[in-house]
Amino acid sequence: MLPTPRLLSLLPNPLLHARLERALTGGARRAPLQWALHPVRTWDELVATLRSDGVKVVIADPFGELRGGKGMDELRWTELAQHAPDAVMIAYGEFPRYPARDVLRLAAAGVHEVVTAGVDDDAATFYHLLAGAASAVLARRVVSRLGERLDPRLARLLETLLGSVQLPLTPGDAARLYHAHPKTLNEHLRRSALPPLGQLITWCRLLRAAQLLGAPGGTLERTARRLSFPSAAALRAQLSRYLGLSPSELRRRGGAVWAADEFCRRCVVGEWGEREGV
Residues 41 and 65: beta-carbon distance below 8 Å: no
Task: Convert the pLDDT of each residue in 237-255 to its tens digit.
Answer: 999 999 999 999 998 888 8
Closest of 37, 50, 96, 97 to residue 76, by C-alpha: 50
Closest of 84, 45, 80, 51 to residue 66, by C-alpha: 45
Closest of 56, 254, 73 to residue 144, by C-alpha: 56
Q: Measure Cα distances from 119 to 4, 54, 93, 94, 268 in Å.
A: 30, 30, 10, 9, 44
pTM of the full structure: 0.69
Residue 32 pLDDT class (50, 70, 90 cuts): low
What would the mean pLDDT of 220-242 be, rounded to a whole number? 92
Task: Convert the pLDDT of each residue in 77-135 to its tens digit.
Answer: 787 777 777 778 888 988 877 778 888 888 888 788 888 888 888 877 777 777 777 77
d(CA 267, CA 273): 12
Which one-letter DSSP state was computed for residue 220?
Answer: H
Q: Measure Cα distances from 242 to 100, 105, 136, 252, 271 in Å.
A: 44, 41, 22, 17, 11
Task: Convert the pLDDT of each residue in 159-215 to its tens digit.
Answer: 888 876 666 778 899 999 899 999 999 999 998 889 999 999 999 999 989 988 877
Residue 34 pLDDT class (50, 70, 90 cuts): low
pLDDT at position 277: 45
Residue 220 pLDDT class (50, 70, 90 cuts): very high
DSSP assignment of 194-219 equals PPPHHHHHHHHHHHHHHHHHTSTT--
Domains by residue range for the chain, with CATH:
6-135 (3.40.50.2300), 150-276 (1.10.10.60)
* pLDDT value at 68 more than 70: no
β-partners of residue 10 are 60
Which one-letter DSSP state was computed for residue 172?
Answer: H
Which one-letter DSSP state was computed for residue 138?
Answer: H
User: Under DSSP, is residue 88 helix (H, G, I), strand (E, B) or coil?
Assistant: strand
Contacts of 188 by beta carbon, 8 Å cutoff, 6+ apart: 154, 178, 180
